[in-house]
C-alpha cells in the first residue's frame, strides 16, 4: 500500500489537498481537504440585510454572479416579495450566460487538457488524449478566449460589469432595457451559439465515435471510473414567466437511482471531520455561525459535509441534467467521468438557446423592479443553481439586521469530507477504483476530481497572512 499526496490540486479554483491510498495500481481510499478558512457567514452578522448580496457576490471570482442572485432570493423570500417578470428574465439570462462561460472554462481550459482537449488540440488527431501545446495555444486564442469575452460582454450589458454584476437587487434589477442593448446582446449570443455548436457537433460527430471505434478500451475506462455516490441533488432554477413560473430545470433528488420528493428539511451539515466545533453543524436554517477549531481530532478539512437525509449527494451539471430528465448517462453505473463532462456540454448547448429566448421575451415597456423594504424580522431561503450545482442561502433577520446567515454551496456538497457516519464525500467516493499506473501516476485521479469542476473558495466560504503552500506531488510508501 502506498499514499499519493497531491497538494495543491491544480487546474481547479482554490486550494484542495488530496490523499489517496493506492493498492495494486488502484485507488482504494481518498481524503479530500479544503485547506482555506474563510468567514463570510461571520462577516455578515449584525449588518443591514441589503449588504448581503453585495458582500456575498465576492465569495467567488469564478461563479461571480450566482451568490448575489441566491442572496437576493433569500431576502425577497424573507420579505414575501416576487420581483417583476423582466427581473426574473434578466436573472435567468445572467445565470445562463455565466454558466455557459463557466462550462467553457471547465471543458476547454481546466478539464479539457487532461483529455487532450478532446482531439481539438490533441497530438495527431484522433489521439490518445495527449495535448499538443501549439494547437492548444491557437485554439485558446482564436476560439476559447474570444467566446469567453463575448459572454462577459453580454453579462456586462445586463449586469453592469463583470465579474460581480451590480444590477440584481432585492425587488428586481436595475438594468435599463434599451432596445439597442437588447439587440446587441442577442447578436453576441448568436456568435456564442455558433462556437458551442461547432464544439458540440465535433465532439459528438467525430471525437466520441472515433474513440468508440478505435479506442473502445479508453471509452470503457472513461465510463467506468469516477462513478461516485450515485445520489443526485439539484434545485429548481430558471423560473419562466411565460410558463407560469415553472422552472426550466426542475430540481429534485435521486437517491440510489430512485427519484424522491425533495424536502428541504432533510438537508443537514455534519462537521465531525471538519475543522469546526461540533455545535457548528445542523440544518442550514438553524446552524450557528461557524466556530473554527483547527486542531479538532479527526478533522481534515475546512469544508463541512452537507447530506440529504444522511446521504452524500453529487451536485452539478450531471445531477441537474439527470434530475431534470435532460441527460441519460452513457455509463451503466449511472454516472462516470465522461458523463460528467458530456452533461456539462449538453447543458451549455441547451442554455444558449434558452438565453436567446429570454432575451427575446424582455419587455422594455414593463418595470424591472418593485419597492423592497427590509422586514424587521423574518427568515428567508434562496435556492438556486450555480454552474457547479445546487446553491442555498439561508437568512435570519431580527431588528432589521442579519442575525444569522448560512450558505451551503455546490462544492461544499461535492468536495465534502466524511460525515458523522463516516461516509465519504462525492469526490472522495468517485476516486475509489481509479487506475493509478505504477502506483504513482495521478492522472486518472486528477481527471476525476476535475470532472466535478470544484471551487474551494465557494465551498469554504481570508487567507491567514501566515498560510504556506507546498507545491509538490509526493509518493510515500506506507
Ligand atoms: Ni466558486 Fe460556485 C459555482 C458556487 S462553487 S464556483 O458554480 O456557488 O461550488
Ligand atoms: Mg456554510
Question: What is the rounded end-to-end Cα distance, in angstroms, of the chain?
Answer: 6
pLDDT at 128: 62
Q: Say how many Å lie between the CA of residue 63 and the centre of ligand 1.
A: 5
| pLDDT, tens digit (0-9, with 9 covering 90-100), for 409-466 | 999 999 999 999 999 999 999 999 999 999 999 999 999 999 999 998 887 764 444 4
CA dihedral 415, 419, 422, 427 (to 10 degrees): -10
Mutate to test the pocket of ligand 1, among 62, 68, 104, 163 (most ligand atoms within 8 A of CB): 62
Mean pLDDT of 204-233: 91
Nearest protein Cα to ligand 1, atom 6: 63
Question: What is the β-pairing status of strands 16-23 and 168-169?
Answer: unpaired
- Around Cβ 462, how many Cβ atoms within 10 Å? 10
Mean of pLDDT over the chain: 93
Residues 160-174: tens digit of each pLDDT: 999 999 999 999 999
Is residue 471 scored above 80 in pLDDT?
A: no
Angle between helices 337-361 and 216-224 (to 10 degrees): 80
Ligand having the closest approach to the CA of 306: 2
Q: Tell which atom from ligand 1 comes closest to the C-alpha of 410.
A: 9
What are the cell numbers at 289? 455561525
CA of 344 to the centre of ligand 2 (A): 25
pLDDT at 232 (0 to 100):
98
**Per-residue pLDDT at 428:** 98
* pLDDT score at 476: 43
Q: What percent of the chain has pLDDT over 90?
A: 80
Phi and psi angles of residue 107, each rounded to the nearest 5 degrees, phi first: -65, -40
Mean pLDDT, to the nearest integer, of 280-294?
A: 94
| Cα–Cα distance, 362 to 320 (Å, whole number) | 26
In this prediction, residues 288-305 reach a mean pLDDT of: 94
Percent with pLDDT over 70 in the chain: 95
Cα 18 to chain centroid distance, Å, stands at 19
Instruction: Break the chain down into helix, strand, coil percent, rounded to 5.
Output: 40, 20, 35
Which residue from 69, 54, 50 is spatially nearest to 372, judged by alpha carbons? 50
Give the number of other CB atoms < 10 A from CB of residue 29: 15
For ligand 2, the distance from its centroid to the CA atom of residue 335, given in whole angstroms, is 27
Q: Please, what sign has the CA dihedral across residues 331, 305, 436, 29?
A: negative
Q: What is the 3-state secondary structure (H, E, C) of 350-401?
A: HHHHHHHHHHHHCCCCCCCECCCCCCCCEEEEEEEEECCEEEEEEEEEECCE
Residue 284 pairs in a beta bridge with none
- Protein residues with CB under 6 Å of any ligand 1 atom: 13, 60, 62-63, 66, 386-388, 391, 409-411, 455, 457-459
List, as one string, the DSSP characters of 40-108.
HHHHTTTS-TTHHHHHHGGG-SSSTTHHHHHHHHHHHHHHT----HHHHHHHHHHHHHHHHHHHHHIII
Q: How far is the CA of 94 from the centre of ligand 1 (A)?
A: 15
pLDDT score recorded for residue 15:
87
Distance, in Å, from the CA atom of 131 to the CA atom of 477, rounded to the nearest integer, reads: 31
Least confident piece of the model among 125-134, 142-151, 278-287: 125-134
Q: Mapped to the 3 state alphabet, what secondary structure does 248-303 carry?
A: EECCEEEECCEEECCCHHHEEEECCCECECHHHCECCCCCCCCCECCCCCCCCECC
Which of 72, 95, 455, 459 gets mutated to test ligand 1 (max ligand atoms within 8 A of its CB)? 455
Q: Which residues of 153-162 are buried (b: 16+ CB within 10 A; e: fewer)?
A: bbbebbbeeb
Residue 243 DSSP label: G
Ligand 2 centroid to residue 269 C-alpha, Å? 8
Helix axes 337-361, 179-202, angle to 10 degrees: 160
Instruction: Return the ligand number nearest the Cα of 34.
Output: 1
The Cα 305–Cα 301 span in angstroms is 10
d(CA 298, CA 418) in angstroms, rounded, equals 10
What pLDDT, on the 0 to 100 scale, is given for residue 61? 87
- Cell numbers standing for residue 294: 483547527
For residue 41, report the distance from its CA to the centre of ligand 2, in Å.
7
Ranges of beta strands (E only) in 106-219 are 168-169, 172-173
**CA gap 372, 375 in Å, rounded:** 9
Which atom of ligand 1 lies at the shortest distance from residue 411's CA? 9
> What value does the mean pLDDT take over residues 390-419?
97
Prior bond to 8 cis, omega within 30? Answer: yes
Q: Which residues pair with 259 in a beta bridge?
A: 254
Strand partners, 18: 6, 32
Mean pLDDT to the nearest integer, 35-58 = 92
Report pLDDT for 472: 53
Q: How far is the CA of 329 from the CAs of 224, 322, 415, in angstroms?
A: 12, 8, 22
pLDDT given for residue 75 in this prediction: 98
**Sign of the C-alpha dihedral, residues 409, 185, 139, 165?**
negative
Amino acid at each position: 500500500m502506498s499514499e499519493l499526496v497531491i497538494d495543491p490540486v491544480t487546474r481547479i479554483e482554490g486550494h484542495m489537498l488530496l490523499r489517496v491510498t493506492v493498492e495494486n495500481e488502484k485507488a482504494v481510499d481518498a481524503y479530500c481537504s479544503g485547506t482555506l478558512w474563510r468567514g463570510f457567514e461571520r462577516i455578515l452578522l449584525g449588518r443591514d440585510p441589503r449588504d448581503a448580496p453585495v458582500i456575498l457576490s465576492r465569495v467567488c471570482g469564478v461563479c461571480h454572479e450566482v451568490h448575489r442572485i441566491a442572496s437576493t432570493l433569500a431576502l425577497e423570500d424573507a420579505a414575501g416579495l416576487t420581483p417583476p417578470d423582466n427581473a426574473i428574465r434578466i436573472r435567468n439570462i445572467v445565470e445562463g450566460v455565466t454558466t455557459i462561460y463557466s462550462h467553457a472554462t471547465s471543458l476547454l481550459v481546466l478539464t479539457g487538457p487532461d483529455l487532450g482537449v478532446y482531439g481539438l488540440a490533441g497530438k495527431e488527431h484522433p489521439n490518445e488524449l495527449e495535448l499538443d501545446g501549439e494547437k492548444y495555444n491557437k485554439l485558446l486564442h482564436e476560439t476559447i478566449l474570444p467566446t469567453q469575452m463575448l459572454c462577459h460582454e453580454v453579462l456586462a450589458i445586463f449586469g453592469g460589469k463583470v465579474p460581480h454584476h451590480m444590477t440584481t437587487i432585492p425587488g428586481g434589477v436595475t438594468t435599463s432595457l434599451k432596445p439597442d442593448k437588447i439587440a446587441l446582446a442577442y447578436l453576441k449570443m448568436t456568435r456564442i451559439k455558433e462556437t458551442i455548436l461547432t464544439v458540440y457537433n465535433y465532439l459528438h460527430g467525430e471525437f466520441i465515435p472515433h474513440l468508440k471505434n478505435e479506442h473502445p478500451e479508453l471509452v470503457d475506462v472513461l465510463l467506468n471510473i469516477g462513478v461516485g455516490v450515485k445520489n443526485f441533488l439539484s434545485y429548481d432554477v430558471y423560473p419562466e414567466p411565460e410558463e407560469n413560473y415553472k422552472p426550466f430545470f426542475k430540481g429534485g433528488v435521486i437517491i440510489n437511482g430512485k427519484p424522491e420528493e425533495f424536502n428541504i428539511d432533510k438537508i443537514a451539515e455534519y462537521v465531525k471531520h471538519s475543522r469546526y466545533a461540533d455545535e457548528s453543524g445542523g440544518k442550514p436554517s438553524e446552524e450557528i455561525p461557524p466556530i473554527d477549531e483547527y486542531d479538532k481530532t479527526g478533522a481534515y478539512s475546512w469544508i463541512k459535509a452537507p447530506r440529504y437525509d444522511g446521504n452524500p449527494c453529487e451536485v452539478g451539471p450531471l445531477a441537474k441534467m439527470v434530475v431534470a430528465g435532460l441527460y441519460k448517462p452513457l455509463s451503466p453505473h449511472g454516472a462516470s467521468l465522461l458523463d460528467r463532462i458530456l452533461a456539462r456540454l449538453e447543458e451549455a448547448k441547451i442554455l444558449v438557446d434558452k438565453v436567446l429566448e429570454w432575451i427575446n421575451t424582455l419587455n422594455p415597456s414593463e418595470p424591472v423592479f418593485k419597492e423592497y423594504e427590509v422586514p424587521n424580522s423574518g427568515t428567508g431561503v434562496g435556492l438556486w443553481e450555480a454552474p457547479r450545482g445546487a446553491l442555498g442561502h439561508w437568512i435570519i433577520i431580527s431588528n432589521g439586521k442579519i442575525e444569522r446567515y448560512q450558505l451551503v454551496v455546490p462544492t461544499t456538497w461535492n468536495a465534502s469530507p466524511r460525515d458523522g457516519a463516516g461516509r465519504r464525500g462525492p469526490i472522495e467516493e468517485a476516486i475509489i477504483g481509479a487506475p493509478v499506473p505504477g502506483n504513482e501516476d495521478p492522472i486518472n485521479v486528477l481527471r476525476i476530481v476535475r470532472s466535478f469542476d470544484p471551487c474551494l473558495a465557494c465551498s469554504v466560504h481570508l487567507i491567514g497572512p501566515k498560510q504556506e503552500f507546498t507545491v509538490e506531488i509526493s509518493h510515500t510508501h506506507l
